[in-house]
Structure 1
């Protein structure tokens, strides 16, 4: 059995002659089959956001394809009930590149003259919204051929945020989390410690999908600097955090201090209330006393002469000297609430004589009576 070879090359033929013969064979095959799409590249392309991509679509024509050449690139809808959206056109020897608003100024034909057999296009500054299935359709009567290319625009992970969840105390379960707000899934997360032994604690459990690491029954040896890396097919970002495991606080001391603070606050409030009530009662008492003084003072009488006041005092004294013990009780207390009568205003010559049979002043003293001084009045009627 003859040995098989990977390629055919006639003996005595150089490489240039072989390529020319191969080209004639392709043209002859195309002429027998009419218009054909000859691109052999991948039908699935993955690119990162912000990059550029070439969607390949090369074709060959046959002599019987005599109609006008039309090239159309369209974006296929994800729902079969929706209509496809034309992205770029070539018709009548003219290119229409700004046909699709979301790709305006970002889509161009790769060749300056697509009718020469290259209908490929370039997409610039890719965005995640550019993801989709693109179809290249070449028409030249009577032939028509098409080719689909799936474009997937991937977004690299954004810088993740590292933080600890829960109390970072000895004996507690500490959870370290790492999250990227942007990025095309799947995103894989990985944790490592970059200080000390550079090994994760033995009780640590890593979840590469959610980006969390659970350190069970944490100890002070779990403290250190940790780094998280978020990675997908088009990029990688990382974040660093410091973890410090501290001893648990003195709970009993905290409770005792809180109780003492509450008691002190209650005592202060009670003192303030007591002072307020006392001040209020004192003010009320002073107000009542002022009202009583105003009620006891008699209204002033019309002014009288000083001479008449002294005459009245003398009359009162002479009258007192002629009093007997039987009527002494009427003058035993100061009579502040009585207005002096007209008898006290009479001159000394008209003073009434003591009634007969009544003991005189010296006799009253002998009988044990106590002399009482009658208060005098000034000109406006006030007692002095």
Structure 2
């Protein structure tokens, strides 16, 4: 990891307390790692008071108060002042009286970035120093993708983006297959992670790798470029149109057949009823005639057979004495056939 050094300032000194830590004004570490903030010191025989070692976090806003992180006082360690670091900060040496007041902070978080001050007191001596801690985030969850058509002669862009990572991130592309060299027409932007390719050809096809990096780490991703000849869009459109027309024609035919079938069914019912009623009437007429004929005796049938229906009755039939009177009253004369002794009609 790259370590840069932050500003360490020595404040006032009284007595003979001396901080001997190496001048490291700035420290940079990656998130999740461990950092040691140094603060070693010496005292003299003149410093007879109790030893106090205190670490405070100085806010960037001057309107806010300092926050005590950990403290050693009267032979006791107090490390529960700052809730955000509970369980993550401790003295490097459990007994700071040895002259080592350095602290360790584990599982660093982005919020831990700030200015830390070590204060050593042993009356009458007092001394302090500041260290700037910067917590950086490694690039992570880097994604590669292609923007644009992968047809020959087209322009496209390979893009690379890290979802996490402290600035300033730097991106770099390389080709892993084929010539393993970026095309001559490519243009790389290391700040945005874009690789522009102009008028691509099939030789541009292959696997490309992007690496995103900052001062504390790196992450990468891959993408496969497959350049192909242009697609015959006119043929595809024509085929789609023809297919649509055929589908509509088939649908129209099915609708026609369905409507035709319903029409014939609507005509079939009244026609069937009409034939049924006519058949029933004919059967009843024939049955009644058969019953009438069946009630006649052979002798009756013989009279009907021998006597024509259009024959005018004979005037020799005797009229009833009351006939003239009935005629004057409007009555109509009725001819009654004569019968023989055996009951047959004459």
Length-normalised TM-score, structure 2: 0.74
Cα distance, 1:191 vs. partner?
A: 0.8
Is 1:128–2:148 an aligned residue pair?
A: no
Is 1:74–2:74 an aligned residue pair?
A: no
| Alignment partner of 2:294 out of 310, 318, 336 | 310
Other-structure match for 1:209:
191
1:1-384 equivalence runs, <5 A: 33-63=15-45, 65-293=47-275, 297=280, 308-311=292-295, 322=308
Structure with larger RCO (C-alpha < 8 A, sep 6+): 2
| Alpha-carbon distance change, 256 to 37 in structure 1, aligned in 2, over 3 angstroms | same
1:269 is paired with a residue whose SS is helix
| Alpha-carbon distance change, 292 to 79 in structure 1, aligned in 2, over 3 angstroms | farther
Q: Is the contact between residue 156 and residue 232 of structure 1 (CA under 8 Å) also seen in structure 2?
A: yes
| Alpha-carbon distance change, 308 to 39 in structure 1, aligned in 2, over 3 angstroms | same
Cα distance, 1:196 vs. partner?
A: 2.4
Cα distance, 1:193 vs. partner?
A: 1.4
2:265 is paired with a residue whose SS is helix
Distance across 2 between alignment mates of 1:91 and 1:137: 12
Please identify, of 243-252 and 45-54, the stretch whose mean Cα deviation from structure 2 is larger.
45-54
Distance across 2 between alignment mates of 1:219 and 1:31: 72
1:180 is paired with a residue whose SS is strand
| Alpha-carbon distance change, 311 to 229 in structure 1, aligned in 2, over 3 angstroms | same
Compute the RMSD of aligned alpha carbons.
3.3
Distance across 2 between alignment mates of 1:86 and 1:323: 145
1:289 is paired with a residue whose SS is helix
1:89 is paired with a residue whose SS is strand
Cα distance, 1:44 vs. partner?
A: 0.5
1:192 is paired with a residue whose SS is strand
| Alpha-carbon distance change, 118 to 286 in structure 1, aligned in 2, over 3 angstroms | same
Distance across 1 between alignment mates of 2:66 and 2:13: 31
| Alpha-carbon distance change, 318 to 255 in structure 1, aligned in 2, over 3 angstroms | farther
Cα distance, 1:180 vs. partner?
A: 1.9
Q: Is the contact between residue 13 and residue 126 of structure 2 (CA under 8 Å) also seen in structure 1?
A: no
Distance across 2 between alignment mates of 1:239 and 1:160: 6
Structure 1, unmatched stretches of 5+, are 1-29, 325-351, 354-384
Distance across 2 between alignment mates of 1:233 and 1:312: 132
Distance across 1 between alignment mates of 2:261 and 2:242: 29
